[in-house]
Chain A
Amino acid sequence: MKKIGKIGAALTLSLMMIMISACGNGNGNNGNAAAGNNKAEATAAAETDTTGNDKEAGKPLVLGFSQVGAESGWRSANTKSIQESAKEAGYDLKFSDAQQKQENQIKALRSFIQQKVDVIAFSPVVESGWDTVLKEAKDAGIPVVLTDRAVDSKDKSLYVTFIGSDFVEEGRKAGQWLSDQYKDAAEDVNIVELQGTTGSAPANDRKSGFAEVIASNPHLKVIASQTGDFTRAKGKEVMQAFLKANKDIDVLYAHNDDMALGAIQAIEAAGLKPGVDIKIISVDAVKDGMQAASEGKINFIVECNPLLGPQLMEAAQSIVDGKTLEPRIVTIESTFTSEQAKEVLASRQY
């Protein structure tokens, strides 16, 4: 017994050591990266000091960007787009990853202010709590651009513009395509809807935009609507239940591609043909979704575009040039039918 206890303790210890060393490694890397960043920032600061803050002609525009993190493929594509388009435009991009934490992001913004960058851009981790740091930026005379996510600050003068997707518009586009398809419908068209995570902005807005457009046609009826939590597994489970509860489903509207992909499996298991027996509309246009669309399983995809880098650079340039900007810039987003999806599939970046 004692022996086993000892072996157990030894094994536990060694396992813990492995864990700790692994964590240590991770931290080390982070530390290094952070140190690297600091170094870069320090040298950058030194540079600005030597040039004496005077804006010389030909000196590249300095853009400070604070990203939320790297939680999804969408976000990674977003980061890549911003880094690449900054390089293309010849701007000096100071990139900082907040790792989903607001305090990291506030620190990054303060360091941007200290370095006196020309423009600050960031995707806020959360909506609230930005007034103080944005005020500091305003006092320092540095314009701020929000990307992808908004802040709930009452003082709209704290930032110049907000570049991001309009989820309501995405819902409208989905609804518009459907109304066009069933313009001359004489019978009722039964629609089922897979909503995103209950209460999230994309779910609320995509639902309301869609409902707003299809209201014009009395034949278009949403007969069932349930949340699928934006996940494939839930999408499949809920669609299975929909198929059992409703004998005659004509259209499926899913708030993102993953739920549509899960639902496609459910439809196939029911012996129906997705895209033919049940028309499918989805939002996002990620790679797997586009793949399904090119196979004709999804009929229509509304894009939710993470590639807002070029628009951000354009906005930064306009701000520096002293032009006035719209307080809301909507990301350029397209839509894809099955045929269009087939054409562009190879060139999709995410």
Chain B
Amino acid sequence: MNRMMKHYLFWPLCVLGALLLFNLLYSPDFFSIVLRDGHLYGSLIDILNFGAPLVLVAIGMTLVIATKGIDLSVGSIVAISGAIACLSISKGSDQSSLGLVMTAILSSLALSLVLGLWNGFLVAGAGIQPIIATLILMVAGRGIAQLVTSGQIITVDSSTYEYIGAGSLATLPFSIFIVTAMLIVALLLTRKTALGLFIESVGSNPTASRLTGIRSNMVIISVYIFCGLCAGIAGLLLSSNVSSADGNNAGLWYELDAILAVVIGGTSLNGGRFYLMGTVIGALIIQTLTTTIYMIGVPPEITLVVKSVVVLAVCLIQSETFRSTIMTRWKTRNYPGEKEVVRHVR
């Protein structure tokens, strides 16, 4: 039991379990999944489908944070990649043709890589603080996205493109497969090669890592590129899910949700260690919470308050210091001296 509680996934899984349990009690058919028109249909599927882009962005963010960095520009990259893809598709004569859609996807992914590279160079090459370096693209990128879409919403009518975000493969949403594939790639690269160790060591101490022969700068640049790629794919998922690109609103505040998912998953913002599976659970917690709020009919005016209270609770449960303080208080509750102190304070 004690060993289980020490596991890094224990508390995140507890919170996710608690949220699901609440839903089970509140509306029992939350867990009902039916087969409709050849694909599964139910709230849990929705959570996975809508949560997919967030999981993806958060995976990239985890690696960046592991190097003691942060990437604020992911929301903007999401918007740009969706905008570029939709723009190139909307210009084609046959919007559903596979060639056109592939070109559109590849060009927006290529651009996401370049944007990630830009962030990496600013951080590793120019030595700018990550939060500032990526803030540049966060602000400028939103502008670029609006420039691409000329401030309008671009609607595409392409069944091929729609398949990425809204289609289903083997009765499950296709987006889940994309995310799983990226997760496996990230896990293999970081846990089956030395790359993960490099990232952690750069996060702990870049200079020491360089002196031991790790190319710190290359490691940093590559995690930003990977993060850009993840955000780019997330942008494709989001825009294809609604068959339109909205430069103003797509991926707005996504970076904050992603950072939150990473932190809930147990990765420290100080860098040096990271938990990809924890991040995935963290992102699912956020999406489950959002869906729950919609389902139980919280008035929109207090939605954000409810969300923040839950997030606060999650973070407190996660915190080792808070838990030990509470435990100590609990154990010494009947201590007369404490009562004395409390009475005087009041």
Contact = CB atoms under 8 A, between A and B. Distances in A.
Interface string A211-228: 000000000000011110
B300 A236 contact: no
Interface stretch (B117-125, B198-206, B256-264, B272-280): B117-125
Nearest to B82: A233
A260 B298 CA distance: 20
Q: Max chain A CB contacts within 10 Å: which of B46, B50, B125, B295?
A: B125
A51 interface: no
A4 B166 contact: no
B240 to A, nearest CB: 11
B186 interface: no
Contacts of B41: 269-271
A8 B42 contact: no
A9 B217 CA distance: 12
Given A1-B215, A12-B126, A265 B295 contact: no
Contacts of B37: 271
Interface in A4-45: 4-5, 8-9, 11-12, 15, 19
A224 B297 contact: yes
Interface string B136-175: 0000100000000001110100000000001000000000
B152 A237 contact: no
B301 interface: yes
B291 A241 contact: yes
B249 A12 contact: no
A262 interface: yes
Nearest to A232: B242
A269 B125 contact: no
B217 A241 contact: no
A170 interface: no
A226 B242 contact: no
Given A12-B126, A237-B50, A271-B36, A231 B297 contact: no
B168 to A, nearest CB: 10
B84 to A, nearest CB: 16
Nearest to B242: A232
Interface string B224-259: 000000000000001001111010111000000000
A9 B152 contact: no
A229 interface: yes
A244 B125 contact: no
A11 B155 CA distance: 36
Contacts of A262: 242
B294 A242 contact: yes
A136 interface: no
A52 to B, nearest CB: 43
A76 B297 CA distance: 36
Interface string A263-282: 00100011100000000000
B46 A229 contact: no
A339 interface: no
Interface string B71-107: 0000000000000000000000000000000000000
Interface of B: 27, 29-30, 36-37, 41-43, 46, 50, 118, 121-122, 124-126, 140, 151-153, 155, 166, 210, 215, 217-218, 221, 238, 241-244, 246, 248-250, 290-291, 294-301, 303
Interface of A: 1, 4-5, 8-9, 11-12, 15, 19, 70-73, 75-76, 195, 198-199, 224-227, 229-233, 236-238, 240-242, 244-245, 258, 261-262, 265, 269-271, 288
Given A73-B153, A233-B249, A240-B46, 5 more contacts: A8-B124, A19-B140, A244-B46, A245-B296, A265-B242
5 contacts: A1-B210, A227-B300, A231-B246, A244-B29, A265-B243
